[in-house]
Amino acid sequence: MAKGFFDHIIHGGDYNPDQWIDTPEIWDEDMRLMNLAHVNSATIGIFAWSMIEPEEGVYDFSFLDRIMDKLHENGKAVILSTPSGARPPWLAQKYPEVLRVEESGIRNEFGVRHNHCLTSPIYREKVRKINTMLAERYKNHPALKMWHISNEYCGECHCELCQEAFREWLKVKYHNDIEELNFKWWNGFWSHRMNDWSQINSPKFRGENHVSAMKLCWNKFVSDSHISFFENEIAPLREITPDIPITTNFMKLYDGIDYQDFAKHLDLVSWDNYPAWDKGRNVEEATDTAFVHDAFRSMKEGQPFFMMESTPSLVNWHDVNKLPRTGLQELSSIQAVAHGADSVQYFQWRKSRGGHEKYHGAVVDHCGHENTRVFRDVSRLGANLEKLSDVVGQYSDSKVAIVYDWQNGWAVKHFCGFNNINRNYAAECIKWYEPFYKKGISVDVIPMDADFSKYDLVIAPFLYMLKEGTIDRIEGYVKNGGNFVGTYLTGMVDEDDMCYLGGFPAGKLKDVFGVWQEETDSLPEGIRNSVSYNGKEYTVEHICDIIHAQGAEALGEYGKDFYKNMPAVTKNSYGKGKAFYVAFRNDEDFVRDFCNDLIKKFSLPLDAKLTLDDGLVMRKRGDVIFVMNFTDDEKTVTLDKEYNDLINGEAVSGSVTIAPCSYLVIE
């Protein structure tokens, strides 16, 4: 399936010519340098509000007019941003309600960015107005190819407007019935029963912060508020420029917004990718990043995503910002493309002369010329990307899915009990993703309400909370021949964090897995149990369920404690499918061996039949195969036949050596 918006890979990034308004010769130099660097696109206007509306109602688009024309004359696509990510000082001064109120109840003063109130009618009106002006002005401009809405929506506001909006949101959710809310929040506990909606406030450190159901509502309300803010932003764009695709840039696995939900409102998913390469754990960092790419790719089935930002060298916001070794950023960009990105974009094109980000990596450094290591790297990559047009729009189907669900992440974070310190939901999902990724088996990363039916195997680590309908969907999937893996603490609560009664896992999941989970043990640091599986001993850490097999076959048993010899890994045949329950947490060892057994058992297809040295990773997109080396050593891949090396334009076969931080792309 191919569905892209361009016929080539977009190579460019954030460009802030408004910072160089008094030096027009720099704009001309930028065009020359962009051509040299094989840059074909620029994202502009992200933080340009104070430039285009210097005073309320006074507009000056002259700089945007000029730069749009100039970019077009130079053959660059423009991704035009709406400016709501940072407002001009006059706006904050005149309308303080646009400023965010922190959890403390104190309203912020003007400053920094990404900190507007999500509800303020005035801010929404002002944003809509400026967006309308932008759309009207540039609707016929040939350079305009995409809208970039705001920048990295994030955070929350606790002002009175937002509190009131929260109460209204709750009234809708609970059918205007405060007793329903009392029941769902279990307000009989600690005498919290309410008799009026006005008694509800946002969760706060010095207020209510122990009602997990309420915190889940707040998370969802904040997420919905961002989406409704976004919908307000894009209404004029949809009307005036209906053919221009719309995106907004997401931030990794940021949990303040349910990105899986938000993605439904976008034409194209995009995200800002800043792996911590400077931490000296490149292989692990690459695995984490691959997972995130796959999560974003999976949000729009059949469609590529954009890597809207990345740094061409270092960032400025780590404690210590080490320069990445040569080749690593290029490899990181290639990884994005391998996993489904149709763009490689940077923050930013030219380094700022002043301000907070003047030491953040950029394609053009303060020296202003092209004779730098970073510029050479970017240019080389740009030239290589031009050779990869065959992957554009390509989306590869996966046979394996990992359920990583934003809302389950909230629920896992909020509940109190068992092991309260070792909860890292994302890390747990990545652990299960890794064995497939390392073997070269493509994996989708999906929410629990995605369609399971197209997968041979669905793994749902730590699926603690079940959204409505999930029990039936898992049951139906397995019954019809699907293979499903659940782990400890599966199916404990519903969407309001209310425990399922009648034994865990919830309802008929007990039949699907053929197990009943009676208790859960938590292991303090340093205390371990063990599990024997296939004649090998594995460590149990942090948490484990004590389960009874009720129809399931035990594949592994606990080695110690009062639950010694009780089942720890089970398999159950249900309908035409199989359900596995892995009752304990382990480091990668067990997960790797167990997943490798599943790969064999279900004959899960590798992306391509290459023989990889340990440490090399492979990914297929369309007919193009990417082999990547994130290790510090030379590695070898043995090809099963002759391929065309797309970068060098030569035929390759047999064994190929891949240098550290390097890659091979073949078709």
Show contacts with ligand GAL in window 357-396 (CB under 6 A): 357, 360
272: left (phi over 0), alpha (psi -120 to 50) or beta: beta
407: helix, coil or strand?
helix
Show contacts with ligand GAL in window 565-594 (CB under 6 A): none
CA angle 89, 348, 54 (to 5 degrees): 20
Is the Cβ of residue 87 or residue 510 nearer to ligand GAL in the bound state? 87
Catalytic (active site) residue 557: no
d(CA 98, CA 84): 11
Show contacts with ligand GAL in window 195-234 (CB under 6 A): none
Question: Looking at residue 435, what DSSP letter applies?
Answer: H
Tell me which residue of 368, 397, 290, 380 sits closest to 336, measured CA to CA: 290
Tell me which residue of 543, 638, 498 sits closest to 186, measured CA to CA: 498
d(CA 363, CA 370): 9
C-beta of 311: minimal distance to ligand GAL in Å?
6
Residue 278 is a binding residue for ligand GAL (CB under 6 A): no
d(CA 12, CA 14): 7
Residue 271 is a binding residue for ligand GAL (CB under 6 A): no
C-beta of 212: minimal distance to ligand GAL in Å?
30
Catalytic pick among 53, 156, 233, 309: 309
Find the binder of ligand GAL among 18, 30, 152, 330 (CB under 6 A).
152
Asked if 565 and 558 count as a contact pair (C-beta separation under 8 A), the reply is: yes
Return the structure tokens found at 227. Answer: 């989406």
Is the Cβ of residue 272 or residue 288 nearer to ligand GAL in the bound state? 272
Asked if 436 and 461 count as a contact pair (C-beta separation under 8 A), the reply is: no
Tell me which residue of 170, 272, 179, 175 sits closest to 221, measured CA to CA: 170
Tell me which residue of 649, 192, 170, 577 sits closest to 386, measured CA to CA: 649
Is the Cβ of residue 18 or residue 309 nearer to ligand GAL in the bound state? 309
C-beta of 52: minimal distance to ligand GAL in Å?
18
Residue 151 is a binding residue for ligand GAL (CB under 6 A): yes
The beta-strand segments (E) located in 440-575 are 443-446, 457-460, 483-487, 515-522, 529-533, 536-540, 543-549, 553-558, 567-574
Please tell me the count of residues contacting ligand GAL according to CB under 6 A: 9
C-beta of 356: minimal distance to ligand GAL in Å?
8
H or E stretch at 260: helix 259-262
Is the Cβ of residue 151 or residue 629 nearer to ligand GAL in the bound state? 151
Catalytic pick among 152, 370, 434, 475: 152
Q: What is the Rg, in whole angstroms, of the alpha carbon atoms belonging to the chain?
A: 26
Residue 521 is a binding residue for ligand GAL (CB under 6 A): no
Tell me which residue of 453, 451, 445, 456 sits closest to 409, measured CA to CA: 445
Return the structure tokens found at 228. Answer: 């409704």
Find the binder of ligand GAL among 9, 71, 181, 315 (CB under 6 A).
315
C-beta of 347: minimal distance to ligand GAL in Å?
4
Q: Which amino acid is at 462?
A: F
C-beta of 42: minimal distance to ligand GAL in Å?
14
Is the Cβ of residue 113 or residue 173 nearer to ligand GAL in the bound state? 113
Is the Cβ of residue 315 or residue 612 nearer to ligand GAL in the bound state? 315
Phi, psi of 5 (to 5 degrees): -105, -10
Residue 309 is a binding residue for ligand GAL (CB under 6 A): yes
Is the Cβ of residue 360 or residue 571 nearer to ligand GAL in the bound state? 360
Is the Cβ of residue 166 or residue 274 nearer to ligand GAL in the bound state? 274
C-beta of 152: minimal distance to ligand GAL in Å?
5
Is the Cβ of residue 14 or residue 434 nearer to ligand GAL in the bound state? 14
Return the structure tokens found at 562. Answer: 């009062």
C-beta of 360: minimal distance to ligand GAL in Å?
5
Return the structure tokens found at 2. Answer: 């191919």
Find the binder of ligand GAL among 30, 233, 258, 272 (CB under 6 A).
272
Question: Cβ neighbours of residue 268 under 8 Å, at least 6 residues apart?
Answer: 5, 146, 245, 246, 247, 300, 303, 304, 305, 306
Q: Which residue is nearest to ligand GAL (CB)?
A: 347
Find the binder of ligand GAL among 250, 346, 347, 590 (CB under 6 A).
347
Catalytic (active site) residue 152: yes
C-beta of 256: minimal distance to ligand GAL in Å?
14
563: helix, coil or strand?
coil
Active site residues: 152, 309
Residues that bind ligand GAL (CB under 6 A): 151-152, 272, 274, 309, 315, 347, 357, 360
